[in-house]
Structure 1
Amino acid sequence: MENILILIFILGYLAITLEHSLKIDKLIPALSMMVFMWAVISLGHFNIYKVDEVLKALVPAEFNEMLLHHFGKTTEILIFLIGAMTIVEIIDHFDGFSAIKGFVKTKSKRKLIWVFCSIGFFLSAVIDNLTATIILISILRKIVKSNELRIWYASLIVIAANAGGAWSPIGDVTTTMLWIANKVTAAKLIEHLLLPSIISLLVPIIIASFLPIFKGNLEDSIVDDNGSSKHSKLMFYLGLGGIVFVPIFKTITHLPPYLGMMLSLAVIAAVAEIISRYKIELTTLEEHPIHISPVHKSLSRIELPSVLFFLGILMAVAALESVGKLFMFSEWLSTTVPNMDIVVLILGVSSSVIDNVPLVAASIGMFQHELDDMLWHFIAFSAGTGGSMLIIGSAAGVVAMGMEKINFFWYFKNITWLAAAGFLAGAITFILMRIFIFI
């Protein structure tokens, strides 16, 4: 009977990976998969388990208890993401990201690689790799007019954004999941992954710097757009500061990260309301002009389909965890594969083909290693940077593909080997650090 769950999961996952061919949003199979799997568990009266942290073994549990437990853990992640998305939209409402344009002052094609990739690396660590990619490609369009050259820059931005998101607890959904699940701490994640992530970026951009396409200077003049809001820089630095404050809040209070994100959102929203001079008017019988709050407008622009997709996929993986399948698979891996590094590297390569969110969610349910075990950090690195090897392997890649019409096979021919070289170099760096520094 439990094989029915695996079949539903495989079919749902297949529909998610083929969303472009099927022309249906991936949230539809994700939500359907979630509901069908939990319905089968309920109707089939399956045995429900939870992992005993002390015994490292499965123990019986109540169905409603585990359903509520997994929904609570999933909701923590979703509320955190909604808060972060809203803060980013508030910054964008005030054209805060125009402040980044001031860092782009060169016409050299080779130097421009380093400028964009450096900004992408650090920006994605704060506001997440997807948003950083959208912002930088939007700026890139105002600077580079050649379509052929622009898709090269956009592809390197994807590598930079994914590398930057891997070492930060708020830079990628997968690292956020590991952080909220108490598998890693912010300080140790940065300590263990910053250098491997830098290496995984340096290798591709150093190689790319010598490619013929990046020789010489830009023919088009750089566009200097001075039409930004007078509050743009204030909201840019306040927004980034608010997001960076969240790990500090968790460290000081030991409260869940989503509470810190809600506090940052409240402060930033208050400042946004004040500087926009938004006033709440009491309605009367007479009609008044409609004033749109910057906060309300920002909330209406967040990517709710992505939030619902995460809900579906995380709860579907939780269903497999609740019937003990992930724990059993973990034990099988431990006895079959002698080296866990190989397993994690395979996970990294797999994340370039299929979404890394369910892969990491499954890893959280499979492995019972201690907080800040090196395995969790290696999973964070592999899942985060491995997705760069294919254009469809990460959210950043998919959005770049849509914005710049990057062809799958063009990316595979020209960029995959660069991303793979960076991934392997970063992985080797991590393993060497683990051997000679941390152990």
Structure 2
Amino acid sequence: METIIIIVFLAGYLAITLEHTLKIDKLIPALAMMAILWAIIALTHLPVFEVNSELRELEPTHIDEILLHHLGKTAEILVFLLGAMTIVEIIDYFDGFATIKGYIRTRSKRKLLWLFSILAFVLSAIIDNLTATIVLVTILQKVINDRNTRLWFAGMVIIAANAGGAWSPIGDVTTTMLWIADKVSAGQLVIHVLIPSIVCMVVPTLIAGGNKAFKGTIDVDLSNNGPKSKYGSIMLYLGLGAIVFVPFFKTITHLPPYVGMMLSLAVVATFAEIYSNSKFTISDAVDIPGESDSHGHHSPVHASLSKIELPSILFFLGILLAVAALESLGMLFHYAENLNSAIPNTDIVVMLFGVGSAIIDNVPLVAASMGMFGEPMDNPLWHFIAYSAGTGGSMLIIGSAAGVVAMGMEKIDFFWYLKKIAWLALVGFVAGAGTFILLRDFILHG
């Protein structure tokens, strides 16, 4: 039966990896795999276990209890992401991100490279690497007319955005997962991963600066850079501030992060409703017949909720509960023991995770690592996993959400990226990993 479980998981995983080849949205195999795995466990009455991290052993439990436990943990992540996505969409509703375009005052390609890399690095730490990439590629399309030049910039934005997301608890889905699961704390994650992430961004940018694609100037009109709405700048800073507030809320109250995110969403939504002069409450999502200014036309909250990427949410639900099925059977626990026996050096294992995240999705990889290792909170292992899973995906354009969205927006060819950008991402990844190991071994631990 264990063989059947593994076959179902690998088949689902393969379908997710080959999403673009099969032309089937990855949420479909993820949900199917999750449901089939738990159905097999229920129908065959397989014993399920809960991993006791402190004792490093498996404790028998009932399927209803363990499923509810994993659903609760998954729901924490999904509700958190829903809140963050809604705030970002509210900012976009007021055209707040156009404020960023106003900072562009140079026509030098090399200066623009550094400007976009730094913007991607900082923005991704606040609004996550996926959203930061969407925002910056959209700005690139308005600023740079030559497509070949734009592709180079988009490639470097992917590397910088993934590096920026790795050191922030709200910068990447995988770091958010580790943070919500109490594997890392916000403060310690920043302290240990920020410098390696900066190295991961700076080294490729320095090397790329010498490429002929970033020499010379661009010819573009940089006027009229402000947002269309007069509240755009206010909503940008309010929204970003509200998201940054969440880790502080968790530190002060010790409540799960999604509670703080809901509070932030409530504050941002309140200002959005006031600024839009909506006459109706945010819970009223239906237009009133005969009312030309009904809520559905004017509510920024309703408009933002309708734009949220629910397929991504359902994909996370499927993949996290599918991995939870393997964890509940004790398979990940035993696999970790075998892996540690085969490769005693955990640094190599974690770096292999990073390389693996370029080929397959980093979300299930990190979910699996959380079930495999029982190290306590803020152990350097978790910080290194956050770095590797976050930045390793840059090595292939399909290896990260940021890469996939840029690929779709600019129609970037897989092999063009592999030839031009992948080696830069690899150099950055290795440089950052080396920096992390040096800091850990020779500075932080004497």
TM-score range, shorter chain: over 0.9
Distance change >3 Å, CA 227–CA 424, structure 1 → 2: closer
* Deviation of 1:212 (Å): 1.1
Q: Provide the rounded CA distance (Å) in 1 between the counterparts of 2:350 and 2:26.
A: 25
* Deviation of 1:285 (Å): 9.9
* Deviation of 1:222 (Å): 2.8
Q: Which segment is superposed worse, 75-84 or 94-103?
A: 94-103
1:61-111 CA distances to partner (integer Å, 9 max, x unpaired)?
111000000000000000000000000000000011111012111100000
1:424-439 equivalences under 5 Å are 424-439=430-445
* Deviation of 1:53 (Å): 2.9
* Deviation of 1:226 (Å): 3.8
* Deviation of 1:224 (Å): 2.9
* Deviation of 1:275 (Å): 1.1
* Corresponding residue number in structure 1 for 2:251: 251
* Corresponding residue number in structure 1 for 2:425: 419
1:350-393 CA distances to partner (integer Å, 9 max, x unpaired)?
10010000000000011000000000000000000000000000
Amino acid in structure 1 at the alignment position of 2:51: V
Q: Which segment is superposed worse, 310-319 or 270-279?
A: 270-279
Q: Provide the rounded CA distance (Å) in 2 between the counterparts of 1:284 and 1:156.
A: 44
Q: Provide the rounded CA distance (Å) in 2 between the counterparts of 1:379 and 1:386.
A: 10
Q: Provide the rounded CA distance (Å) in 1 between the counterparts of 2:226 and 2:10.
A: 51
1:322 pairs, out of 323, 328, 347, with 328
* Corresponding residue number in structure 2 for 1:368: 374
Q: Provide the rounded CA distance (Å) in 1 between the counterparts of 2:227 and 2:65.
A: 54
* Paired residue secondary structure (2:295): coil
Structure 2 unpaired stretches of 5+: none
* Corresponding residue number in structure 2 for 1:117: 117
Structure 1 unpaired stretches of 5+: none
* Corresponding residue number in structure 1 for 2:358: 352
Distance change >3 Å, CA 133–CA 284, structure 1 → 2: closer
Amino acid in structure 2 at the alignment position of 1:296: H
Q: Provide the rounded CA distance (Å) in 2 between the counterparts of 1:180 and 1:265.
A: 18
* Corresponding residue number in structure 1 for 2:290: 287
Count of matched residue positions in the alignment of Structure 1 and Structure 2:
439
Q: Provide the rounded CA distance (Å) in 2 between the counterparts of 1:287 and 1:228.
A: 29
Retained in 1: the 8 A contact 2:99–2:227? no
Q: Provide the rounded CA distance (Å) in 1 between the counterparts of 2:338 and 2:244.
A: 39
Q: Provide the rounded CA distance (Å) in 2 between the counterparts of 1:226 and 1:65.
A: 53
Identity of aligned residues (%): 63
* Deviation of 1:220 (Å): 3.0
Retained in 2: the 8 A contact 1:31–1:313? yes
Distance change >3 Å, CA 284–CA 436, structure 1 → 2: closer
Q: Provide the rounded CA distance (Å) in 1 between the counterparts of 2:29 and 2:295.
A: 38
* Corresponding residue number in structure 2 for 1:304: 310
* Deviation of 1:334 (Å): 1.4
1:222-246 CA distances to partner (integer Å, 9 max, x unpaired)?
3533452100011000000000000
Please say if 1:65 is aligned against 2:65.
yes
Q: Which segment is superposed worse, 274-283 or 44-53?
A: 274-283
Retained in 1: the 8 A contact 2:12–2:29? yes
Amino acid in structure 2 at the alignment position of 1:435: D
Amino acid in structure 1 at the alignment position of 2:388: S
* Paired residue secondary structure (1:351): helix
* Corresponding residue number in structure 1 for 2:160: 160
Retained in 1: the 8 A contact 2:27–2:318? yes
Q: Provide the rounded CA distance (Å) in 1 between the counterparts of 2:369 and 2:178.
A: 10
Retained in 1: the 8 A contact 2:397–2:403? yes
Q: Provide the rounded CA distance (Å) in 1 between the counterparts of 2:220 and 2:62.
A: 65
Amino acid in structure 2 at the alignment position of 1:13: Y
* Deviation of 1:145 (Å): 0.1
Retained in 1: the 8 A contact 2:124–2:171? yes
Retained in 2: the 8 A contact 1:143–1:223? no
TM-score normalised by length of structure 1: 0.98
* Paired residue secondary structure (2:102): helix
Q: Which segment is superposed worse, 15-24 or 308-317?
A: 15-24
Q: Provide the rounded CA distance (Å) in 2 between the counterparts of 1:105 and 1:284.
A: 43
Amino acid in structure 1 at the alignment position of 2:351: L
1:174-213 equivalences under 5 Å are 174-213=174-213
Distance change >3 Å, CA 284–CA 35, structure 1 → 2: closer
* Deviation of 1:287 (Å): 2.3
1:404 pairs, out of 374, 397, 410, with 410
* Paired residue secondary structure (1:217): coil
* Paired residue secondary structure (2:117): helix
Q: Provide the rounded CA distance (Å) in 2 between the counterparts of 1:254 and 1:360.
A: 23
Retained in 1: the 8 A contact 2:90–2:301? yes
Distance change >3 Å, CA 341–CA 284, structure 1 → 2: closer
Q: Provide the rounded CA distance (Å) in 1 between the counterparts of 2:223 and 2:183.
A: 45
Retained in 1: the 8 A contact 2:201–2:428? yes
Amino acid in structure 2 at the alignment position of 1:53: S
1:299-323 CA distances to partner (integer Å, 9 max, x unpaired)?
0100000000000000000000000
* Corresponding residue number in structure 1 for 2:397: 391
Q: Provide the rounded CA distance (Å) in 2 between the counterparts of 1:164 and 1:286.
A: 47
1:324-343 CA distances to partner (integer Å, 9 max, x unpaired)?
00000011111111200000
Q: Which segment is superposed worse, 278-287 or 331-340?
A: 278-287
Please say if 1:336 is aligned against 2:339.
no
Amino acid in structure 2 at the alignment position of 1:380: A
Please say if 1:148 is aligned against 2:148.
yes
* Corresponding residue number in structure 2 for 1:106: 106
Q: Provide the rounded CA distance (Å) in 2 between the counterparts of 1:200 and 1:286.
A: 55
Amino acid in structure 2 at the alignment position of 1:288: E
* Corresponding residue number in structure 2 for 1:44: 44
Amino acid in structure 2 at the alignment position of 1:187: G
Distance change >3 Å, CA 221–CA 331, structure 1 → 2: same
Q: Provide the rounded CA distance (Å) in 2 between the counterparts of 1:418 and 1:334.
A: 30
Retained in 2: the 8 A contact 1:142–1:223? no
* Corresponding residue number in structure 1 for 2:82: 82
Alignment RMSD: 1.4
